[in-house]
Amino acid sequence: MPGLSEPEERRFDGYLEQLSLAVGHEDRRDPLRTYLVGLCLPGERKSIEPIAARVDPRHVSARHQSLHHFVALAPWDDRALLRIADRAVLDQMDRHGGVMAWSVDDTGIPKKGTHSVGVTRQYSGNLGKQDNCQVAVSISLVNEAVSVPSAYCPYLPEEWARDRARRKTVGVPAEIRFRTKGQIALEQIDALRAEGLPEAPVVADAGYGTSHEFREGLTARGLAYVVGIQSTATLWPPGKTPLAPAPYRGNGRPSVRLRRNAEHRPLDALALARSLPKQEWEEVAWREGTKGLLSSRFARVPVRVAHRDYNRRSPRPVEWLLIEWPEGEEAPTKYWLSTLPADTPTEMLVRWAKARWRIERDYEELKQEFGLDQFEGRGWRGFHHHATLCIAAYGFLAAERARHSPPRPLAFLQIPRLPASYRPRGTPGSS
């Protein structure tokens, strides 16, 4: 590979050998190596035909046919390749404090037409608007020095999930049904846990954090989280809970549900933030940016989520509400809920909340340098295979960067590990 030193080239060859063994049949190994090298080479387009022209300009047609079969049709296991990429990155991540978080995210891939799997007009977080696109849900292993996507799955909109003809055309497996993005993420988390990857608190933006089902799913699995919420989320402020069930008056069944009334109601997150005294706010720095140390003003308060708790028999457990309100802004800009331990320092809580920045950079590089958004096929299998190969190529780059990056020398920058006995508040068996 051009641009690699001799030791790097040996490591790259060894990495390709591991991946080649993982795809099974020997006749798949040459296309795999060719495709990965093509993804790593300079070039504006990283779809099958440009890769074939780049790596074998004298036999473009034959090479294109071979690569197309390997990427779009061959039944090799995506998970096996992703695990190799994981191991390569984890080996270097340990030098920088180990896995800090599992980051749940999704990315949009703009598409013209309606025939590629999962394409419809839908909201994409990275695009910041609704557009005609595919959306994929991912889980990334993250710390402040390195990160890599470890699970990647297309979101199949309901209109696609119910359309048998379209499903058959693009090869969606029969067992795939409509699932929300949060449900896909929880399934991916279950798969990663089953494979024994190092566990860590889950971080996600408000697209996932506003889902009570998603948060409760994490808690049921014993996983702590730091997830974004909207300013309209209703919360019981510190020291307040719903009213107890109405007293029994001797007629009918006793009331068992919590209550609220006009004088005793929860606040939305914005109102709660505005009610906090000045001394609750502090300036917190979380990392070094390209223009210097990144810092902002934060407050944290213990709250209980109030969403429909009038249907419950007991109040929800206490969580942290973390609020960012930069100096000079008219209102807070971001809110998070967290089930990290009560003694977690505010600086660490902020660092977990801000850990997602690396994933945005990962996707930017995966698209600009490795062609994640440039696959021109329409099928379910090809979509998965192309993404897996892009992530595998990126995994080597991420591991090499971490290898050459010196371990962080300052003790206060080390990420504290959660004890093995830790359970988020509200989890069965938690203290």
126 and 222 within one domain: no
Identify whether 372 is part of a domain: yes
- What pLDDT is attached to residue 426? 59
10 Å CB burial of residue 213 (0-12, 13-18, 19+) is: exposed
191 and 226 within one domain: no
The residue out of 353, 376, 392 marking a domain boundary is 353
Q: Among 179-188, 225-234, 280-289, name the one with the lowest average pLDDT.
A: 280-289
Q: Is the pLDDT of residue 4 over 80?
A: no
* Rounded average pLDDT over 176-188: 97
* Rounded average pLDDT over 314-341: 96
118 and 194 within one domain: yes
- What pLDDT is attached to residue 430? 53
Task: Give the pairing type, strands 129-142 and 147-154.
Answer: antiparallel
- Average pLDDT taken over every residue of the chain: 91
* Rounded average pLDDT over 187-214: 97
CA atoms of 86 and 120, how far apart (whole Å):
31
- What pLDDT is attached to residue 288? 85
Both tokens assigned to 182 = 């949060």
266-289 pLDDT, tens digit per residue, is 999 999 999 999 999 999 999 888
- What pLDDT is attached to residue 253? 84
98 and 28 within one domain: yes
- Specify the residue for token string 């090809």: 382
- Specify the residue for token string 């849900």: 137
Q: Count Cβ atoms below 10 Å from residue 210 Cβ, excluding itself.
A: 19
DSSP 312: -
CA atoms of 300 and 237, how far apart (whole Å):
11
pLDDT band at 413 (very low <50, low <70, confident <90, very high): very low
3-state secondary structure of 195: coil
Q: Is the pLDDT of residue 68 over 70?
A: yes
77 and 125 within one domain: yes
139-163 pLDDT, tens digit per residue, is 999 998 899 999 999 999 999 999 9
Listed in sequence order, the residues at least 6 apart from 290 whose beta carbon sits closer than 8 Å to its beta carbon are none
361 and 342 within one domain: no
11-61 pLDDT, tens digit per residue, is 999 999 999 999 988 999 999 999 999 999 888 889 999 999 988 889 999
Identify whether 426 is part of a domain: no
Identify whether 421 is part of a domain: no
- What pLDDT is attached to residue 349? 97
Identify whether 81 is part of a domain: yes
Contact 29, 66 (CB under 8 A): no
- What pLDDT is attached to residue 410? 35
- Residue 227 pairs in a beta bridge with 204, 337
- What pLDDT is attached to residue 388? 98
227 and 201 within one domain: no
Q: Which residue has the higher pLDDT, 431 or 316?
A: 316
Cα angle: 116, vertex 118, 123; to 5 degrees? 120
- What pLDDT is attached to residue 431? 47
Both tokens assigned to 328 = 């000079």
Instruction: Tell me what percent of the residues of the chain surpass a pLDDT of 90.
Output: 78
Q: Is the pLDDT of residue 318 over 60?
A: yes
Q: What is the pTM of this model?
A: 0.90
Least Cα distance to 172 among 386, 388, 379 occurs for 379
- Residue 298 pairs in a beta bridge with 282, 324
pLDDT band at 421 (very low <50, low <70, confident <90, very high): low
Our CA dihedral for 160, 164, 165, 169, rounded to 10 degrees, sits at 70
Identify whether 284 is part of a domain: yes
199 and 82 within one domain: yes
- What pLDDT is attached to residue 290? 79
The residue out of 308, 332, 353 marking a domain boundary is 353
Count, in order, helices (H) and strands (E) of the chain.
Answer: 14, 12
pLDDT band at 411 (very low <50, low <70, confident <90, very high): very low
CA atoms of 176 and 170, how far apart (whole Å):
13
Q: Which residue has the higher pLDDT, 122 or 4?
A: 122
Q: Which residue has the higher pLDDT, 186 or 55?
A: 186
- What pLDDT is attached to residue 195? 96
Q: Among 218-227, 242-251, 388-397, name the one with the lowest average pLDDT.
A: 242-251
The number of distinct structural domains making up the chain is 2
- What pLDDT is attached to residue 30? 95
85 and 178 within one domain: yes
125 and 22 within one domain: yes
- What pLDDT is attached to residue 73? 96
Q: Is the pLDDT of residue 168 over 90?
A: yes
* Rounded average pLDDT over 396-421: 65
320 and 332 within one domain: yes
10 Å CB burial of residue 252 (0-12, 13-18, 19+) is: exposed
Find the domain containing 330 and state its range: 215-242+256-353
Q: How far is CA 280 from the centre of its chain?
A: 30
Identify whether 422 is part of a domain: no
CA atoms of 109 and 359, how far apart (whole Å):
15
Identify whether 175 is part of a domain: yes
Identify whether 71 is part of a domain: yes
pLDDT band at 3 (very low <50, low <70, confident <90, very high): low
Q: Is the pLDDT of residue 198 over 60?
A: yes
371 and 308 within one domain: no
Q: Is the pLDDT of residue 409 over 60?
A: no
